Amino acid sequence: MSKKDWFREAKYGLFIHWGIYAIPGGEWKGAPSPHGSEWIMKNMKIPYAEYKELAGQFNPQSFDPYYYVRNAKKWGMKYLTFTAKHHDGFAMYDTKVSDYNVMNTPYGKDIVKQLADACAEEGLTFCLYYSQMQDWEDPDGNGNTWDFDPAKKDFKRYFYNKCLPQVKELLTNYGKIGMIWFDTPYDMPKELCEELADTVRACQPDCLINGRIGYGLGDFREVADNTIPVLSRSDVWESPMTMNSSWGYIKRDQTSKSAADVLQNLVRIVGKGGNLLLNLGPDENGLSPKVCTDALDVAGEWLEKYGDSIFGTTNIPNFPYLLTWGDLTYSKARKTLYFHVKKYPEFPYRVLLTGLETKVKRVTLMADGSPLKYSQSYEPGRDEHRLYIFLPEVCPDADDTVVAVELEAEATAQSI
Ligand code: H79
């Protein structure tokens, strides 16, 4: 057992970006702030004295932790990552370190505690986002240069007086934390990053640390926001993605990735050995845009039916060819390859996989379990392995026709 096992199995998690930035929702005094509504304070250089007034308005009467936790499970997600403190410095929990927190709002209840309890009760792994370097409330934190003179900043003072004690609180007061999600380490000195990692590991040895602690000190690679690597990676990694153009709630954008978009990203990421951490930005009342949750509902229904092609699968490291028709996932335990056919072939309705060495036992259409014809060959002259699968004339699912290919042995790919 490794502490990374749950994460390697997880594949799909819910990210929640929620803070007092949900109130302006990407707009300040009638002017739009660029996408990434959680950046509004810095983008608009809003004085701290003015921005902090938002805390006095925070009263999300419709927030229900169980709504998020139960839906995350229904949507097929295995973990939930919540922004305990974003760059603006406002803590969404009961911290003794700074008054700038949710207890000092009209709402007055600890959001982290409510989500932690709901996750524990419902059996969902609970993880916390904490912005360790940027803090636009603290005169010594990184980022706020309009209220606080950068020449007078003493980063260590912020680190020891706020960051470290808050991280300790989060890892002490809320039960088991699956992962702590750091962000934007920028030029934070390496020795402080090491101290932060040591502190996390001293508080909760099993808590994973994501790659954005910096300097390779994390337990896995966090790829850049909204990206998918070209190459398959041999160890588990994670890609954080938005449902629309922003992490925090953005009033002017009521669009969403479709269920097909979500599933396409999930399949591509899982097929390369990663996990998708997909974000919702609740509004000032604690509700998420219906257009986003509707898409997650539809994706969740698909996963209920086709979950075996995602969960319990991994990548085939170093698969040599780009696939032109879709993506591949692979279950080692079931010795089964899953073809996710996105570009349905025309007559003679066949897809070709080049480079698989292992002998095929049986091929079925996942939609109804019906057997499919296939032909497998090896040409010694060209040293090429080919597997053709013959699909039905009528496409069963235009977004993703899933074909299960059972193998005689563990899959091996040819190196070219
Ligand atoms: O928490 C989310 C982002 O707020 C955070 N990472 C994800 C998970 C993040 N911090 N920094 N960045 C992402 C990269 C910085 C982007 C910026 Fe901008 C470009 C900051 C200012 C210009 C995006 C566009 C945010 C505001 C405008």
Per-residue pLDDT tens for 274-311? Answer: 999 999 999 999 999 999 999 999 999 999 999 999 99
Nearest CA to ligand 1 atom 14: 184
How does pLDDT run across 204-249, given as a tens digit for each residue? 999 999 999 999 999 999 999 999 998 888 899 999 999 999 999 9
Q: Is the pLDDT of residue 317 over 80?
A: no
pLDDT the model gives residue 332: 94
How does pLDDT run across 177-208, given as a tens digit for each residue? 999 999 999 989 999 999 999 999 999 999 99
pLDDT the model gives residue 7: 98
Q: Is the CB of 88 under 6 A from ligand 1?
A: no
Q: Is the CB of 24 under 6 A from ligand 1?
A: no
Give the number of C-alpha atoms closer than 13 A to the C-alpha of residue 94, restricted to the C-beta side.
Answer: 10
Probe residue for ligand 1, chosen from 28, 33, 39, 136 as the CB with the greatest number of ligand atoms within 8 Å = 39
Nearest CA to ligand 1 atom 23: 36
CA 342 to centroid of ligand 1, rounded, Å:
32
Nearest CA to ligand 1 atom 7: 225
Q: Is the CB of 364 under 6 A from ligand 1?
A: no
The residue-averaged pLDDT of 90-102 equals: 98
* Separation between Cα atoms, residue 236 and residue 323, nearest integer Å: 21
Higher pLDDT, 317 or 4: 4
How does pLDDT run across 122-131, given as a tens digit for each residue? 999 999 999 9
In sequence order, the 6+-apart residues with CB closer than 8 A to the CB of 94 are: 101, 102, 103, 110, 112, 113, 173
pLDDT the model gives residue 232: 84
**What atom of ligand 1 comes closest to residue 129's alpha carbon?**
1
- As a whole number of Å, the CA-based R_g of the chain is 23
**What atom of ligand 1 comes closest to residue 131's alpha carbon?**
1
How does pLDDT run across 338-357, given as a tens digit for each residue? 999 999 999 999 999 999 99
* Separation between Cα atoms, residue 31 and residue 274, nearest integer Å: 38
* Separation between Cα atoms, residue 50 and residue 16, nearest integer Å: 25
Q: Is the CB of 238 under 6 A from ligand 1?
A: no
The residue-averaged pLDDT of 7-36 equals: 97
CA 110 to centroid of ligand 1, rounded, Å:
26
Query: What tokens were used for 105?
Result: 């709002």
Q: Is the CB of 240 under 6 A from ligand 1?
A: yes
pLDDT the model gives residue 319: 86
**What atom of ligand 1 comes closest to residue 279's alpha carbon?**
8
pLDDT the model gives residue 187: 84
What type of residue sits at position 416? I
**What atom of ligand 1 comes closest to residue 183's alpha carbon?**
6
CA 215 to centroid of ligand 1, rounded, Å:
20
* Separation between Cα atoms, residue 89 and residue 136, nearest integer Å: 6
CA 183 to centroid of ligand 1, rounded, Å:
10
Q: Is the CB of 38 under 6 A from ligand 1?
A: yes
Q: Is the CB of 19 under 6 A from ligand 1?
A: no
Confidence tier at 412 by pLDDT (50, 70, 90):
very high
**What atom of ligand 1 comes closest to residue 36's alpha carbon?**
25
**CB-based burial label for 350 (10 Å; 0-12, 13-18, 19+):** middle
Q: Is the CB of 183 under 6 A from ligand 1?
A: yes
Cβ atoms of 67 and 20 within 8 Å: the answer is no
pLDDT the model gives residue 367: 96
pTM of the model: 0.97
Q: Is the CB of 410 under 6 A from ligand 1?
A: no
Q: Is the pLDDT of residue 49 over 90?
A: yes
pLDDT the model gives residue 316: 83
**What atom of ligand 1 comes closest to residue 17's alpha carbon?**
1
pLDDT the model gives residue 416: 84
Compute the mean pLDDT over every residue in the chain, rounded to the nearest whole number: 97
Pairing of strands 208-209, 384-390: unpaired
pLDDT the model gives residue 271: 94
pLDDT the model gives residue 274: 97
Beta bridge partners of 328: 339
Q: Is the pLDDT of residue 48 over 80?
A: yes
Percent of the chain with pLDDT over 90: 95
CA 257 to centroid of ligand 1, rounded, Å:
19
Q: Is the CB of 39 under 6 A from ligand 1?
A: yes
